[in-house]
A and B are shown apart, each in its own frame.
Chain A
Amino acid sequence: MNGALTVMRKDLVLLWRHRSGWLSAATFATMSVLTYSFAFDLVTDDVRPLLPGVLWVTFLFAGIIACSRSFADEVEQGTFDAMLVAPIPRSSLYLGKAVSNLAALLTIEVAVMLMATILFNTTLLTAELAFIVGVGTVGYVSLTTLLATLGSRVRSREVLLPVLALPLLVPLLIAGVRATGGALDVPNGDGPWLLLIVVFTIWSAVGSALLFPMVVEQ
């Protein structure tokens, strides 16, 4: 656990110092929500049925941008190997990385939801929505962190990560959109969608932690 905390603290410091990674993701998310708001303004007065899709698609792509650099910089500087020769369990390394990615993405998501609340004139900062987005993000980051590791030694990693991640994230996307719709009183939002998010998150977190040691072996 100490190893995971050490890695997480270091990653958070690096996230702050080397802002280009998560600022790119934040800029993308901001522009995305802003563009949707202009587009929807022209065609409908009630944006609530569309909002869940806007939010989750924005979260997914912003997350891909934020997570893709998390291991790439380590591999480029050789520090990933320096961590791999340290006597800490591989799972601690994974946990530290995943938690720092989670912190970055949750920050972006809160900003997006604040902005969407203003632009779409709909209350999004509720406890129910926070729970749905929070749990879903844990599952999302767990899987994306593993896949970012897998692609970190490949030259075309920016392309590889979405190609690998998005098909696997489809169940989470569907459940996230439906559950968010339910929280916004959109028709067809009822159903065991929150349960599906929780199951996906457990599967993703446990599976990724178990697979990580194999992924980093050469």
Chain B
Amino acid sequence: MTATFAIEVTRLSKRYGTTTVLDGVELSLVAGSRTALTGANGAGKSTLLAILSTLVSPTGGQVRIAGYDLQTQAVEVRRRIGVLGHRPMLYEDLTPLENLLFFAKLYGVANPRPRAEAFLEVLGLWSRRFEPVSVLSRGYHQRLAIGRALIHSPEILLLDEPETGLDAEGIELLDALMLREPAFTVLAATHRLDRIAGWADSTANIERGRLVSHQVSAEALAASR
């Protein structure tokens, strides 16, 4: 199935009781684009990413990811997305190698062991692959989480504050493996406005649950035509 847009969000809304968290969000991202999602705390960035990740059901509207409907083809959507949050989402009593092997098997990756080991080398965790994750630093947790999110070769990356806990070297890895990697379509919620120009080709700004702007750089606009 070919898709013009990697992510298509139409009139998306989310309400919890009487509280409206997202209100009529419209967003279309072409394949290969890299979009920074900005906005104040509580604006709805994390909720939008949670909906796109299939973790939260929308109240209204429609979402298509890689051409698949989020509501009716959720398993196909999950195959194609990689999710990285500000929490690393790792088993602390397993080792880095066991964590990556578990998620590789969960995603049905062929030859999971060589792939997991290759990631551990790239992420600088090879020498600590047999230690429990609980003894590793926060920065290493986040590095390993990058491996977890990429282990199944997703097409689309949904990132929520991905820089959390990373040192300068970790941020370089994040940039190289995720944010600047042309193979992916990236949508990343971030408060690091100083870094956006370094990796993003468009910026979507959310205020109080509404998408108030979506600015695409001139280069990206020209490339998409």
- A interface residues with partner B (beta carbon < 8 Å): 2-3, 6-7, 10, 13-14, 17-18, 77-79, 81-89, 217-218
B207 at the interface (CB under 8 A from A): no
**Chain B, range 155-187, C-beta contacts under 8 Å to A:** none
Majority DSSP secondary structure for residues of B touching A: loop
Majority DSSP secondary structure for residues of A touching B: helix
Contacting pair A79 B57 (CB below 8 A): no
Q: Which residues of B contact A13 (CB under 8 A)?
A: 94, 98
The residue from A17, A81, A89 contacting B55, defined by CB atoms under 8 A apart: A81
Q: A13-B94, A78-B87 are in contact. Are A85 and B102 (CB under 8 A)?
A: no
Contacting pair A10 B102 (CB below 8 A): yes
B222 at the interface (CB under 8 A from A): no
Q: A2-B105, A6-B105, A89-B75 are in contact. Are A84 and B54 (CB under 8 A)?
A: yes
CB distance from B98 to the nearest CB of A (A): 7
Contacting pair A6 B90 (CB below 8 A): no
**A13 and B105 alpha carbons, distance in the complex (Å):** 15
Contacting pair A14 B55 (CB below 8 A): no
The size bracket of the interface on B is: 20 to 34
**A81 and B54 alpha carbons, distance in the complex (Å):** 10
Contacting pair A86 B103 (CB below 8 A): yes
Q: Which residues of A contact B53 (CB under 8 A)?
A: 81, 85
Q: Which residues of B contact A88 (CB under 8 A)?
A: 75, 106
The residue from A6, A14, A81, A89 contacting B89, defined by CB atoms under 8 A apart: A81
Q: A10-B102, A82-B148, A86-B107 are in contact. Are A218 and B89 (CB under 8 A)?
A: no
- Identify the interface centre among B89, B90, B108: most chain A CB within 10 Å of its CB: B89
Q: A77-B89, A78-B87 are in contact. Are A87 and B94 (CB under 8 A)?
A: no
Contacting pair B55 A78 (CB below 8 A): no
Contacting pair A86 B106 (CB below 8 A): yes
Q: Which of B76-84, B117-125, B193-201 contacts A (4 or more CB under 8 A)?
A: B76-84
CB distance from A17 to the nearest CB of B (A): 4
Q: Which residues of B contact A217 (CB under 8 A)?
A: 57
CB distance from A164 to the nearest CB of B (A): 22
**A77 and B141 alpha carbons, distance in the complex (Å):** 12
Known A78-B87, A81-B85; further 7 A-B contacts with Cβ < 8 A: A2-B105, A3-B106, A13-B94, A14-B94, A77-B92, A84-B55, A87-B108
Contacting pair A14 B91 (CB below 8 A): yes
Contacting pair A86 B78 (CB below 8 A): yes
Q: A6-B105, A82-B89 are in contact. Are A218 and B56 (CB under 8 A)?
A: yes
Q: Which chain B residue shows the least CB distance to A92? A: B106
B88 at the interface (CB under 8 A from A): yes
- Identify the interface centre among B93, B103, B106, B107: most chain A CB within 10 Å of its CB: B106
Q: Which chain A residue shows the least CB distance to B75? A: A87
- Identify the interface centre among A13, A84, A85: most chain B CB within 10 Å of its CB: A85
**Chain B, range 40-59, C-beta contacts under 8 Å to A:** 50, 53-57
Contacting pair A14 B93 (CB below 8 A): yes
Q: Which chain B residue shows the least CB distance to A5? A: B105
**A14 and B90 alpha carbons, distance in the complex (Å):** 12
**A95 and B53 alpha carbons, distance in the complex (Å):** 23
9 contacts between A and B (CB under 8 A): A7-B106, A10-B98, A13-B98, A18-B93, A85-B53, A85-B55, A87-B75, A218-B50, A218-B57
Contacting pair B78 A85 (CB below 8 A): yes
- Identify the interface centre among A78, A83, A86: most chain B CB within 10 Å of its CB: A86
Q: Which chain A residue shows the least CB distance to B104? A: A6
